[in-house]
Amino acid sequence: MNISLKGHTYTTKHLEAWYHAILTQNVKEAQIQFQEAKKEHEEMLLKETETFPLYYLYYALLQFRHTALTDGLSITKDSFQIIEDQEKPEDKHLSYLYHYYKAVHFAAINHYQEAEEYFLKAQALLSGHSQIEQADFYYRYAAYHCHQQQPSFAIVNASKALEFFETQHGCERNISSCLSVLGASYVDVGHFEQAEESYNKALDILQKLNEESLQLYVRGNLGHLYASQNLSEEAIRHLTQVVEKIPSHYKAIFLLAQEHEKLGLIDKANHYIKIGKQLISELGNEEHKHHFAILEAFTNQTELNKIEPIVLEGIEYFNKESLYIYVSEYLEKLALAFYNKQQHEEASLYFFNSTIAKKSNERGLKK
């Protein structure tokens, strides 16, 4: 294999093909180009006596983004360490990718304040990059805002990305991803029909492309849509399809546990809680650690002195990460539990705090 790296050049034909496949979310092509780039990389390690820090940094960055594309739910706090260990020479493009991918990493491990910091740093370096790179950034930034319960920001950024992708050949997968973010944003503001329409458009695109794995993530979103409307049986139908094919999909597993609990199917709910807690422990995912712990407490405990500290521990985390929708939701649930036990003073306190959190969330919805 002939590999030529000179001066400040750090890319190769296979790295560029790999990067393009990642940008267009073409998982099959990305896997092919990853294998070619990996062979090239191994040959570099064996034959090169001179080191090329820019090349090695670029390769490590693409490795991380490849994982984010193909198996994003497996990302842990250590997934970015190989990049941090690289020498970081001055280069505008690689500096942009470093800050952008670090934002993606922080978002994936639920460190949302740090994610925002690095998204803004990457955005400051975005000028001068190709249109597809800019659209890719705005799609990811939209997804971040969506999770932060800031649907207005999410809709603006997803629409900006969608506007470009719709003019380009080969960006159909990107279009479906933007539609999924728009769908989730519509769920946040209660526009369920628009959400379902967006999700179905995304599914239609992916079905025509025979992209089964990407379809499953959209089905997971549909499951969330139906769960949000308390259409538990319909939610379970979609979510079961997801978990059968992606057993590590902890978000779908949580929703399955939650919806079975709503239907009074406690054994089934506990089955999914047990699986989810194990996955979350392995990944070190703090957000869903609290979601599963609170769900387990309300599902199985009757003593409020055991439920209350579990909820309050979760509330502390959700407040820190500005996830006020969960603060409001769980405090209201705790208030109802105290009210049902005729403990009106505690119920009143938690209802009041839930209302404050709800107002904070509504301010986020309007952003």
pLDDT at 24 over 50: yes
pLDDT the model gives residue 365 = 56
What digits encode the pLDDT tens for the residues 190-207? 999 999 999 999 999 999
Q: Homologous superfamily of 1-129 in CATH?
A: Tetratricopeptide repeat domain (1.25.40.10)
pLDDT the model gives residue 2 = 43
pLDDT at 146 over 50: yes
CATH 1.25.40.10 domain residues, the chain: 1-129
What digits encode the pLDDT tens for the residues 155-175? 999 999 999 999 999 999 999
Distance CA 74, CA 220 (A): 16
